[in-house]
Structure 1
């Protein structure tokens, strides 16, 4: 891999534009605002004007004028089309559409580079499958012979193909996979016009939160890491490496800001996108469904390789090579300029930590297996609890006082992923301790092993009823 030259040396390699008048450099960035895991590479940078803070204005850039352009997309495919057409310089998307991006550039006789991760899950969480809220289906294994919709060429499409293959099914014969965008899938689920729907961040949880669907499968069960990240035209990166580094420094600051105040910036994401802050916080808050991470962990490199292999399942052969497609020199330089240790972050797989006291007992939370949270309407911060019992007991007090929750969070005991409590399953053991599960069969197995019983959310509420 080529290493970035010292930026001063790179600057000397360029011919100054000053002899021909001040140069105008376009910085055209494609975002996916509603794909909230891209927020630190798009929405937050734009709304907080962070890029302007880091664009260079010395050396060869002394008299440069920047033409910053932003364009929003709902998925990666059209963003890729505009990048290949040289209408955009930088764009953010998930691993699977990212592999499509690289393949499309190669087909056009060009190259793009995957320069950073923004957010992801080494476990695979973030993509998922939902069914209509009142559906009797509780597991993917029950969907053989049924129709499953998905946004084609999305990371959720790749996840669905891998999940179907893991069942031992032929995706061409054993299920009917049709294309359906998120904005179409929501009403279809509500009207019971689709039997199941697979989607990417944040639509599975958004449909759950809005009461139109119930998640039955999380990407963590597929065992395939996934992420969202940013790409750049290789030609642009070679011409303006300092501009690319400036973009990444802005992404680093956006990441720092939302880590410090996740509720505040979840509110900003809602203001811009209409996606409820409670869902944004599910991802960006402590112990979130995915982890914001700007380093190229081996799992994310593997995720890209898996995505390239998945292209073959779709009949899209490409000479794209993950090892040369990923270029980490720019993010390493951005880390160094930001005073951060890239290697230390690379080795850290922890989610954003939860540092809080139990809202009922006031004691520090030290065991995170059964933690819960409630975001009360009108309150700026989420209340945290060391146990589901404490949270649900407090919920009843909250509601009896006339207040309402924006969201209630629990954590799956098996997969360690954050869930929305009203659509989760529970097991209460002989000691009265509640545990949460994404899948009913997992709750059933746990209950059987611990002399307990399986509960839905209403049952869990009753079990935690305050004395």
Structure 2
């Protein structure tokens, strides 16, 4: 019974491999909104930009048109940006590193900083493991190239270990859940909303989180060709401002957003609310400043050392700071609702 039902828990989240996720992809095109001669092609994920902008009222009174394309994760979204099929889209802190490492034509134009509590390494509740230093020789499930992958690497380093000291099982969330629930792996590195879902629906507990070891950043990434188009660049600036206001709305209305998000994704409301309070509602739009660039450079260097990206590169060369406006520094503390359920 358990083996048959637990993997199904993640099926509603098949479209939420969250910007942070691996290479699984699927895309569809949505309808258009607004008016005017300019059409901004936005790469989205289920329950992402379009949902949050609609719920907050920020899709009202656009003076440009919007065409939505939906992706299951960050890497294929950035492939579309590279191919000029998408003008801009939102991803986590790791997909831009893999895209730039492959010499893709992408430019980071916006950023937000949130809590890293949802970037977690979980173990069964009855596990004898009590701290990351005890992971030596243990098997760990993780999605390769995801933000959870970097959080795992950083957490191991913090504990005096390296990836060579553990047994990595590169698995996407549905397969990882099956392995975790059957005791095939000792631990699982995940991100929200998976973290919130697993803590709500399985006998799991958090061994460690990304707090204090990862940067908590997420990004909006645009096509260089769109940025060279004056009208599209203006629309991108407007979109970033609307996303900033929408994020403020989420923080002020977490329950309302959780209801919308649950409907969009198929998540139980309680799981959605946990994820909002633990991760997504904590985000603060921030400037892409030298500290943010240096932090991403460290991620790039780490994956280059692990030979998981094909080349070393300078992250700063993939950044455009024209939209920083008067945003606070990237080190700005995440918003807090208090402790989420676990």
Shorter-chain TM-score tier: 0.7 to 0.9
C-alpha distance in structure 2 between counterparts of 1:213 and 1:419, whole Å? 15
Deviation at 1:80, TM superposition (A): 2.1
Q: Please provide the CA RMSD for this pair.
A: 2.9
Is the contact between residue 125 and residue 226 of structure 1 (CA under 8 Å) also seen in structure 2? no
Cα 1:308–1:347 shift into 2, 3 Å:
closer
Measure, in 2, the Cα distance between the counterparts of 1:207 and 1:230.
Answer: 28
How far apart are residue 260 of structure 1 and its match? 1.9
- 2:204 counterpart of 1:213: yes
Contact 1:29 1:90 in 2 (8 A): yes
Aligned length: 304
Give the counterpart of 1:100 among 98, 101, 106: 98
* Change in 2 beyond 3 A, CA 1:81/1:193: same
Q: Can you give the 5+ residue segments of structure 2 that lack an aligned partner in the other structure?
A: 1-34
Distance in 2 between the 1:257 and 1:23 partners? 26
Q: Could you say which residue in structure 1 is the equivalent of 2:181?
A: 190
- Aligned residue runs from structure 1 range 36-435, under 5 A: 39=48, 41-45=49-53, 50-51=58-59, 53-56=61-64, 66=65, 68-73=67-72, 75-104=73-102, 106=103, 108=104, 111-121=105-115, 124-172=116-164, 174-221=165-212, 223-239=213-229, 240-285=232-277, 291-296=282-287, 299-315=291-307, 316-332=309-325, 342-343=326-327, 345-346=328-329, 349-352=332-335, 418-421=339-342
Structure 1 segments (4+ residues) deviating >4 Å:
22-26, 46-49, 287-290
CA distance in 1 between counterparts of 2:281 and 2:166 reads 28
Distance 1:209 1:87, change over 3 A: same
1:167, 1:348 → 2: CA distance? 24
Q: Secondary structure at the match of 1:248?
A: helix
Cα distance, 1:100 vs structure 2:
1.3
Q: Which of structures 1 and 2 has the larger relative contact order (alpha carbons within 8 angstroms, sep 6+)? A: 2
Pair 1:84–1:351, CA change in 2 (3 A):
closer
Is the 8 Å Cα contact of residues 95 and 227 (structure 1) preserved in structure 2? yes
Deviation at 1:291, TM superposition (A): 2.9
Secondary structure of 2:163's partner? coil
| Structure 1: segments with no counterpart, 5+ residues | 1-21, 57-65, 333-341, 355-410, 412-417, 422-467
Partner of 2:184, secondary structure, is: coil
Asked whether the equivalents of residues 291 and 330 of structure 2 are also in contact (C-alpha less than 8 Å), the reply is no
SS of match in other structure, 1:189: helix
The residue correspondences of 1:449-464 to structure 2 (distance < 5 A) are none
Q: Output the TM-score relative to the length of structure 1.
A: 0.58
Please state how far the C-alpha of 1:218 moved relative to its aligned partner. Answer: 0.5
